[in-house]
Amino acid sequence: MAAMSAPPREAFRLSQLLYDARYRSLTIQVIASILIMLLLVELVNNTVTNLAALGKDISFGFLWTTAGYDINQQIIPFTSQDTHARAALVGILNTLVVAVLGCILATIIGVLVGVLRLSKNWLVSRLMGVYVEAMRNTPLLIWILIVFAVMTEATPQPREFREGGSASMILWDSVAISNRGVYIPRPVWGEGSGLVVAVFLLSVIGIFFLRAYARRRQEATGDQLPVLWMSLGLFFLPALLAFFALGRPIGLELPELGGFNFTGGIQVRNSFIALWLALSLYTSAFIAENVRGGILAISKGQTEASFALGLRPNRTMQLVILPQALRVIIPPLISQYLNLTKNSSLAIAVGYMDVRSTLGGITINQTGRELEGMLLLGIFYLITSLIISSFMNLYNSNVKLKER
């Protein structure tokens, strides 16, 4: 039997880079990449040349010079004698705090409003519709200013909290809401407080493992554990037991009226509250529409089958509808989280010292390094957006429907 030999391979020719479909797309990408790189090099070179003509150079040494200004809202200690780099760090932390809290509150309100918009109660659904349309069709800056005006004009002055005054503290005289901010208790960390915090963190981790175990058990056997009550018990009981067993190592410093203002406790400024609430309420309207669209994408047969099996409406929404709707809700939800984070740069309108106000504002004005400051500011928002997108895309890959 004669052996069959493989046909000779055709020698590579340069013309194949353009006329052969196997190489043409790669050739176009390489050429486009080279052109883009040349354009960037030209832009950078032109910028450096123009700066040199003005007697400027590109340098980030200004970050280590004395800032010379104060920041009213601080997560970490800061004084005017610290560097611009630390001022930028304080601004970054302020931005991240309002972004994280805003995403959490916006999600809670958005899911609630989105579900209520589909309520069979005519009044409830119409009220939620008015809320969504009012929020979505009014600029965010106006809502920030409105909330800030309410916090500063409709709340009492500190002197009105004096004995016989018209205002009083709430929550067992531990919280004061005034036109200068909201004053809340400050935790006082004693010996053994770290152990209590560690127990609490372990309890939170345990809740995730409990929910994962309950889900696997339900899928395998059909038995449903009381996850809510078990999670609440695990959230509070271990930390409380450790707290009392160690002799109450964590105390509270309550705010007290002294002179013309409150002393002690933690002052949460009205600028932060206004920005946080406005961002949350505004973004929640868009999230509500995402939730409503995701729920409407699920066939009504799913709801009817759940009712036929004896599930109540709230359990049907929790166990059947929302898990399937997540594959529609999550992608646009990522965009809303990114928008909220970037919209936090409007904090300058109410005097909240975020990274836009520190690094992108006062630091640039004092040092004259506008190019370097804006470049660092853009890099921060870019990295933050990429981190949010990465985590949300990872979550989306875990909740999307798995095909067989």
pLDDT tens, N- to C-terminus, the chain (404 residues): 455 565 666 666 767 777 777 778 888 888 899 999 999 999 888 888 887 887 777 888 889 999 989 998 888 899 999 999 999 999 999 999 999 999 999 999 999 999 899 888 999 999 999 999 999 999 999 999 999 999 998 888 888 888 777 788 888 888 888 888 899 999 999 888 999 999 999 999 999 999 889 888 887 887 878 888 899 999 899 999 999 998 889 988 888 887 778 888 888 899 999 999 999 999 999 999 999 998 888 888 888 888 888 888 777 887 788 888 888 888 899 999 999 999 999 998 998 999 999 998 999 999 888 888 999 999 999 999 999 999 988 888 876 665 55
Tell me: domain 84-153+271-399, CATH 1.10.3720.10, correct? yes
d(CA 295, CA 322): 7
- Give pTM, 2 decimals: 0.84
Residue 383 is predicted with a pLDDT of: 94
Does residue 262 contact residue 158 with C-beta atoms inside 8 Å? Answer: yes
Q: Which amino acid is residue 202, in one-letter code? A: L
d(CA 309, CA 301): 12
Strands 261-263 and 176-178: unpaired
Nearest to 275 by CA among 72, 99, 76: 99
* Cα-based distances in Å from 380 to 40, 91, 93, 335, 355: 20, 11, 11, 17, 9
